[in-house]
Structure 1
Amino acid sequence: MASFPRAGLTRRLASLIYDGLVVIAFAMLSMVVFLLVIEGFISAGWLSQGNHEDVSALIQASPLLSFFRGFVLIAVSVLFFAYFWTKSGQTIGMRAWRLKVQTPDGELLSWPRASARALCALLGLGNLLVLIDFKHKRALQDMICGTEVVVLSKEENKRIYDSLD
């Protein structure tokens, strides 16, 4: 097994920008579906719009619906990252910047570990810890979940990409 250097802050943040754009697109799509579901509940008579001018105002005024909206947005983000980290160790942005998240043994993450890592990242702010832990280049989510982010060679990055279904 080849050993690769750990990634610094610049590559991590560049990758996060790429992935952030994709997550935003998925979040927008999931909110369209969420709004359609709420509209369907209103049409079926299971939910009342009351005196709210539209469905968005109803969601904003309802603590329960606001909670579900937040839950859906967090779930979309966690599922995005966990799926890619468990499948190949690389998200779309990580692939572009030749990064891979793995265990210290070089193994792919399990679903529980990948989900925990996504939650511990604190919307990417956990990466700032790389500046303090300059010797080991570990982010908060890496320390908590026992993971590392490495910079792959061009050949290894291509090998991983080619091995995907």
Structure 2
Amino acid sequence: MAKQNKKKNQELNLAEQYQGCKRASFWRRLGAYIIDLFTIGFVIAFATALALLVVNIVAKLGGIDLSLYQDSSDYLGHSMWFLAYISLLIIAFFIYFWSCSGQTIGMKLVQLRVQNSDGSNISMTQAAIRLATSAFGLGSFMALLKDRNAFQDLWAECEVVVLPKSLNTWALFKKVEGKEK
């Protein structure tokens, strides 16, 4: 029991440390956004290769007629299912990282973290609201004003802060602060 209380106190201490961080500037957000675009590009490339493999296998088994298309990539380009698949993948990427660790890979590299004002991770609902209201990153222009939240952060009732190096370790990347698993 004492071990569990010690762990809970460490998590609360960590959330308190996150609380004391300053808000992120537009330029740091932009850096994380650019890195995340490359990361998403790699995820989409892998997902597309997987989809092409599945389409080719199904076509060889006679499940899909590709005679109306130039090749399997043309088939995917005209498929609403593929568009939905890629869209859901991108949405899941951001919601997962923001709600589980508070950081995407780009945010991790630029030392940013999205969190509630008490230092805890945002919920999946907050992450979905943040993603839906971000306007593909354009909402971050509000952060050009000093010590100001971006549009998506106001709607999701969260904030993006700059972490000191001591709080930006990979050991804390998967930690869920203030929440019991």
Residue in 1 that maps onto 2:6: none
Partner residue, 1:86: 99
For residues 28-62 of structure 1, give each alpha carbon's deviation from its aligned partner in whole angstroms, at most 9, with x where no partner exists. Answer: 000111122222332232221133221122233x4
Identity %: 31
Is residue 54 from structure 1 mapped to residue 71 from structure 2 by the alignment?
Answer: yes
C-alpha distance in 2, partners of 1:119/1:40?
35
1:132-143 pair list within 5 angstroms: 134-143=145-154
Is 1:162 matched up with 2:175?
no
Q: What letter is aligned with 1:157? A: N
3-state SS of paired residue (2:114) = strand
Residue segments in structure 2 that go unaligned for 5+ positions in a row? 1-15, 175-181
Runs of 4+ in structure 1 over 6 Å off? none
Change (3 A) 1:9 1:164: closer
Q: Distance in 2 between matches of 1:23 and 1:30?
A: 10
1:20 aligned residue (32, 37, 48): 37
Quick one: distance in 2 between partners of 1:54 and 1:142? 43
TM-score by length of 2: 0.76
Larger Rg: 2
Whether the 8 Å contact between 2:25 and 2:146 is mirrored in structure 1 is no
The CA RMSD measured in Å over matched residues stands at 2.0
Once residues 164 and 58 of structure 1 are traced to their aligned partners in structure 2, the CA distance between those partners, rounded to angstroms, is 39
Q: How many residues align?
A: 157
In 2, the alpha carbon distance for the partners of 1:114 and 1:87 equals 10
